[in-house]
Amino acid sequence: MKYVYPAIFTEEEGGVSIHFPDFDSCYTSAETVADGLAMATDVLCLTLYDMEESGQPAPAPSRIKELQAGENEFATLVSCDTLEYRKLYNNQAVKKTLTVPAWLDQQAKAANVNFSQVLQDGLKQRLGIQ
């Protein structure tokens, strides 16, 4: 869930506008280039997250060497991680019903085991998520 796409930064009076040529509507702007890079990361991640949620495939990224930048423009690569984005913005708890053998339930309760935490830890380990 890690992506890298080229972005075109256009320096204008009063700030910078940013667009991603590989997406139809992935734009943002900022007052400075540094803020623009943060905004570009955010809009790219949101765009890709929405595509993942709707089952749309992500387009292949253009080669940055092949992009044509204008007089007040420059191209740079922007990366994002939609898994980290999900962790940050979609951290709502959901209830799951599960079953375990009665003897295991008794042992776990006697040891004050937090079933939710054990399940979360196990899922993260199985999925290779930190």
Tens digit of each residue's pLDDT (9 = 90 or more) over 73-118? 999 999 999 988 888 777 677 788 888 888 988 888 899 988 888 8
Number of domains in the chain: 2
Report pLDDT for 96.
80
pLDDT surpasses 90 at 28: yes
Are 31 and 49 found together in one domain? yes
pTM higher than 0.85, yes or no? no
Verify that 85 and 100 share a domain, yes or no.
no
pLDDT digits (tens, 9 = 90+) for 47-83: 999 999 999 999 999 999 888 888 999 999 999 999 8
What's the domain range around 110? 93-130
Specify whether 31 is located in the same domain as 63: yes
126, 109: one domain: yes
Same-domain check for residues 80 and 101: no
Structure tokens at 50: 């929405």
Measure Cα distances from 52 to 20, 23, 61 in Å: 17, 14, 16
List the CATH number of the domain containing 16.
3.30.160.250
Domain check: are 35 and 75 in the same one?
Answer: yes
d(CA 27, CA 37): 12
Same domain, 15 and 78: yes
| Total count of residues recorded for the chain | 130
